[in-house]
A and B are shown apart, each in its own frame.
Chain A
């Protein structure tokens, strides 16, 4: 069966399974109000009515203009600040930059706020109080020391200035100055708001999740959403997206650390430090656990280990002979595969030619990059692994 035939069958099967229009849907729609959009032109009133309306409006405006401005400054949201550790909290600020209200975006955030009344305080004071409360409650500690501060405001330069002030306030409030502060400004984007609501996180954390997902494309946003800011910071491994600022170092004390992971792998392989080359490691999130991926070469063999970052358990081992000269050579760019990388529906790409014979990792990487249309120097966090699917090496 060709790819196209399989797709057509799938379309046909799902079409057969999809219910026909239920009569109740149209009834439900008829009784459901539609979004009201302001009309392009307002209806005209008789001139006398319009004149009296204008006069009344002028009187009201004259009487209220002074008080209204002051009221608005104090009661209109001028900016929002979100703080995420694992407690997630949103502060709304008025135009005088005082806290209007504070709300938890998750249960932990609501619990932290229960004992605090932040209304009327400056955002710096609020951030200091929250850092202190979260440290007392054990959410910020030596082993999890990262906090994300996100500022959302209509005016970009004001938001940036506030971000900087709050970054400093958070860093200064940390116990012993050991906090790792990630900070950013967040635009008022509808897409980000929808995403944050569907993931039950703040828009700031939703933006961070998108950045982490870009670096770890095999993870879904839903999988990453429950992770603490410290874990997300560790997964970024210093590779910050544009607009995200970082001070301090994320703590990895909850995990073994790369040295211990390396030692575990070497012990398992029966090798010593001086027998290996091309050592590299990465922290990944895989199947609900933080995992060290450790790779090295020795005696013509390539080794790859997946090690549970918390327990040190070896989850997966792959050893393969290094084949041919130049394998694992990062400068190699002599791939001449001109396979069409267009994604049109008739591409018919199967990949069978590339993997039918045993190929070395570098060749696989070159094929992947060519197919993705990405230059070697533009690829980030490049790694590979050998696996088996139904007994077939891939």
Chain B
């Protein structure tokens, strides 16, 4: 079993997993899930801002990876290939979504409170990253911090100029720090 993905992880490991998945190995899919679930989930959550929908997209992403793996041609960027599938499914889900609206800040706090694996600090950080940042800022920050993409890779992934990625990334960090500082201040 390979460990969970960390920034700069070896693309060869993921490529080997995808090759085995293409041969019908569900064990390889389980390994790929463990290695990449956080970037996939983070991207879905960032786009959808809705925990149940993000979980559905997480599930559907791996189902699609399973189906499409035999056609995967390695170009040395397996995570970008995986996240393209997730992005596409997330945008589709966003369009289809008529019943479930994005959660308000209060609903976020409630949804996160239900998650026993999160510390109080984790809850505050996630709540602020969803409420204080714009969608593009959050997406870029998470692609960098969680998926380990370099800024140039993010620019290529989002078809966006590098300068825009850089400015949004730095702005996101500033905003998030400011929001966390404000949150830590004593309330009247």
Contacts and interface: CB of A to CB of B under 8 A. Distances in A.
Nearest to A21: B33
Nearest to A11: B146
Most buried by B among A15, A194, A222: A15
A15 B115 CA distance: 12
B69 A10 contact: no
B22 A34 contact: yes
Nearest to A341: B166
Interface in A28-85: 28-30, 32-37
Contacts of A25: 29, 33, 59, 62-63
A31 to B, nearest CB: 10
Contact of A6 (B63, B92, B177): B177
Nearest to A371: B166
Given A9-B125, A29-B26, A16 B118 contact: yes
A21 B125 contact: no
Given A12-B122, A14-B41, A344-B150, A374 B88 contact: no
A289 interface: no
Nearest to B152: A343
B142 interface: yes
Nearest to A13: B122
A37 B71 contact: yes
B166 A30 contact: no
Contacts of A18: 37-38, 41-42, 58
Given A10-B129, A11-B38, A343-B150, A372 B141 contact: no
A51 to B, nearest CB: 33
B7 interface: yes
B92 A198 contact: yes
B105 interface: no
Interface residues of A, number: 54
A7 B167 CA distance: 16
Given A10-B125, A14-B126, A15-B4, A343 B166 contact: yes
A222 to B, nearest CB: 7
B63 A28 contact: yes
Most buried by B among A9, A194, A200: A9
- How many residues of B sit at the interface, in one of the four size bands? 35 or more
Given A29-B63, A217-B160, A371-B166, A21 B30 contact: yes
Given A10-B141, A13-B125, A345-B150, A19 B58 contact: yes
Given A1-B180, A13-B122, A198-B92, A26 B145 contact: no
Interface in B22-65: 22, 24, 26, 29-30, 33-34, 37-38, 41-42, 45, 55, 58-59, 62-63
A220 B136 contact: yes
Contacts, number: 147
B105 to A, nearest CB: 16
Contact of A15 (B29, B38, B45, B112): B38
B62 A32 contact: no
Most buried by B among A7, A18, A221: A18
Interface in B115-134: 115, 117-119, 121-122, 125-126, 129
A214 interface: yes
A309 B16 CA distance: 54
A218 to B, nearest CB: 7
Given A10-B125, A16-B118, A390-B178, A21 B34 contact: yes
A11 B180 contact: no
Given A3-B173, A6-B177, A14-B38, A32 B166 contact: no
Most buried by B among A14, A34, A198, A349: A14
Interface in B4-22: 4, 7, 22
A214 to B, nearest CB: 7
Contacts of A15: 4, 38
A33 B24 CA distance: 10
B70 A14 contact: no
A19 B144 contact: no
A387 B176 CA distance: 18
Interface of B: 4, 7, 22, 24, 26, 29-30, 33-34, 37-38, 41-42, 45, 55, 58-59, 62-63, 66-71, 84, 88, 91-92, 95, 112, 115, 117-119, 121-122, 125-126, 129, 135-136, 141-142, 144-146, 150-152, 159-164, 166-167, 170, 173-178, 180
7 contacts: A17-B117, A18-B41, A25-B33, A34-B66, A217-B164, A221-B159, A372-B161
Interface of A: 1, 3, 6-19, 21-22, 24-26, 28-30, 32-37, 194, 198, 200, 210, 213-214, 217-218, 220-222, 343-345, 349-351, 368, 371-374, 389-390
- Cβ-closest 6 pairs across A and B: A372-B163, A343-B151, A7-B145, A13-B122, A18-B41, A29-B66
